[in-house]
Chains A and B, each alone.
Chain A
Amino acid sequence: MTRRFGWAVVLFGLFLTLFPTGLRAQSAYESKTGHAEFTSSMPGFTFTGKSDHLVGKITLPDSTVDFYLDLTTVDTGIGMRNRDMRETLDTKKYPFASFYGKLISPFDITQKETQPATVSGNFKVHGVSRQVTIQGKLTPTGQGVRVEASWTLMLKDYNIKPPSILFYKVDQEQKIHIKTLLTPIQ
């Protein structure tokens, strides 16, 4: 009995490993062209950094949520400010901001209306990883799943020193917003 059970486990593992990607894909969705932006404030002035290179993946069976962004793709509109932002985030050493966690709210892919979603996991930037819970929205569409989320990040929580010189001082609080359409993995 034990021997049979052992073989069954091994075969099941092999089945999971070798199972054709295409067949597993229907329950996983991804995108490499999602939109991410942050809004930064300083006295009397705000600016936004934007990127359309957000990479994201949601695997529904195990509720895994995995997103990352190459921070060097973020554009604030002014070349000098981009350079300043990259030095502040030390993108040579820490090129990515990432989130890896679980969808902890119920989600029904067969329902076509927008559903509130909560994810919990580790958000990492500037080499510092912190446990976060983020609220967002998931909308099943004919093409896949539309994802939208916003949250606020405090620079000090990630050991990021806000640029501060003369009359130019960036606020601690950064508003983050992402939106993307995840399509089924083929």
Chain B
Amino acid sequence: MSFKKTTFLSVLFLITYQLSHAQMKRERVNPGGPVETTFWAQTIVGMSTLETLPKHNLNATIMHAFGLATDRPIKEFFGLDIPPNVRLGVDYGLTDRWTLGLGRTTFQKVYDVRSKYALLRQTKSESMPLSLTLKGDLALSTQKDNRPLGDDLSWLLGAPLGKKFSDQLSLQLEPMYAHFNTPVLVGGQQNDLWSLGVGGEYHLSQHFALSFEYYPILGKRNEGTKNAFSLAFNINTGGHVFQLFFASSDWTTEQYILAENNSNFWAGDFRFGFNINRMFWLAGKH
């Protein structure tokens, strides 16, 4: 090779080398970090999702279940004429992992305090393949019944365990333990109820999703009750999640769903309802 050619190639190499080093290499900040938004809302319909609210996020909810759509459908206009059970509530992200909520339900004038803590979080790198959240709910029925206050208490402990399988599909299992100090409060016999809830969400697009929840009772159950099931259509606008659902139970508080559902979804006993979730940021302007 002639000296001219060598010189030309050397210069070309050096210029290319310099140019290739001129632009910085683009590097992600945390490419293997926690998976985001396994579920869109804090509940599928009534079942708590493993999702916790980001710090300083407030989620205001209106959960609204009408009467049975299939019981005298024309006379009761598919259940819409029957007094609905409404739960008004707020949840707040104390930290990115810890959410605290309050709610009030029409039936039995139930007030409840609920809390979730994200114990494990699935990561994009799969170093943690699942998410696990601990959930508790303490409810007090304030309907006048001449019983001591303690008799009107019930609570639920749950542990939603789940995975975001893809951008479309998320599934969870939720072992649940419910306790009623006075089962007669809900017309039942069992102080303690167990269930292994199953829930899932399938995203049809950026704004629409289908979801379901199922509450199979394990062990003894209150007489006449059935395993509850709900099917929902979700609309996500970024700040709102609207959930339009068909459900067997008219409750949206888990211990009451386990204790009091007398309707068999698969026999056609379902009702229409909707949840509205509205997210707010409470730490200054954003």
How many Cβ-Cβ contacts under 8 Å join chain A to chain B? Answer: 113
From A59, which residue of chain B is reached at the shortest CB distance?
A: B22
Asked if B237 and A79 sit within 8 Å, CB to CB, the answer is no
Please, how many angstroms separate the alpha-carbon atoms of A181 and B206 in the complex?
Answer: 37
A80 to B40, CA, bound (A): 7
CB-contacts of A62-105 with B (<8 A): 62, 64, 66, 68, 70, 72-73, 75-88, 95-96, 98, 100
Chain B contact-residue range equals 35 or more
Interface residues in B204-220 by Cβ distance below 8 A to A read: 206-207
With A47-B286, A95-B28 in contact, do A79 and B54 touch (Cβ < 8 Å)? yes
In the complex, chain A residues whose CB is within 8 Å of the CB of B57: 77-79
The closest CB in chain A to the CB of B8 belongs to: A6
Bound together, the chains give a CA A49 to CA B240 distance in angstroms of: 18
Q: Which of A8-25 contact B (CB under 8 A)?
A: 9-10, 13-14, 16-17
The answer to whether B14 touches A17 (Cβ under 8 A) is yes
Q: Is B7 an interface residue (CB 8 A)?
A: yes
- A6 and B26 contact, Cβ closer than 8 Å, known pairs A77-B281, A83-B36: no
Q: Contact between B29 and A10 (Cβ–Cβ < 8 Å)?
A: no
Asked if residues B24 and A10 are in contact (CB atoms below 8 Å), the reply is no
Residue contact B240 to A17, C-beta cutoff 8 Å = no
Q: Is the CB of B4 within 8 A of A6?
A: yes
Q: Is B181 an interface residue (CB 8 A)?
A: no
**What is the CA–CA distance of A43 and B15 in the complex, to the nearest angstrom?**
52
Given A80-B236, A80-B241, residue A70 in contact with residue B10 (CB < 8 A): no
Interface residue from B28, B37, B283, B286 paired with A83 (Cβ < 8 Å): B37
| Cβ contacts B26-38/A at 8 Å (1 or 0 each) | 1111100000110
- The answer to whether B14 touches A80 (Cβ under 8 A) is no
With a CB–CB cut-off of 8 A, which chain B residues contact A179? Answer: none
Which residues in A have their C-beta under 8 angstroms from that of B281? Answer: 76-78
Q: Does B86 contact A (CB under 8 A)?
A: no
Binary interface profile of B, 241-264, with partner A (CB < 8 Å = 1, else 0)?
100000000000000000000000
Given A68-B26, A96-B26, does the pair A80, B3 have CB atoms closer than 8 Å?
A: no
- Does chain A have a CB within 8 A of B63? no
Q: Which residue of B lies closest to A70 (CB)?
A: B29
The yes or no answer to A156 lying at the interface (CB within 8 A) is: no
Whether A2 lies near B4 (C-beta < 8 A) is: yes
The CA of A78 and the CA of B55, in the complex, are separated in Å by 9
- Cross-chain contact A84 with B279 (CB below 8 angstroms): no
Question: Any chain A CB within 8 A of the CB of B266?
Answer: no
Q: Mark B137-172, 1 if CB is under 8 A from A, else 0.
A: 000000000000000000000000000000000000
| 23 A-B interface contacts by CB (under 8 A) | A2-B3, A13-B11, A13-B15, A14-B14, A16-B18, A17-B14, A55-B24, A66-B22, A66-B24, A70-B27, A72-B30, A75-B286, A76-B281, A77-B57, A78-B57, A78-B238, A78-B279, A84-B236, A100-B23, A165-B235, A166-B235, A166-B240, A168-B239
> Chain B: residues with CB nearer than 8 A to chain A?
3-4, 6-7, 10-11, 13-15, 17-18, 22-24, 26-30, 36-37, 40, 53-54, 56-57, 206-207, 235-241, 279-281, 283, 285-286
Q: Please provide the 8 A-B residue pairs with the shortest distance between their CB atoms, ordered closest to farther.
A: A77-B286, A13-B14, A77-B281, A6-B7, A84-B238, A168-B237, A79-B54, A83-B37
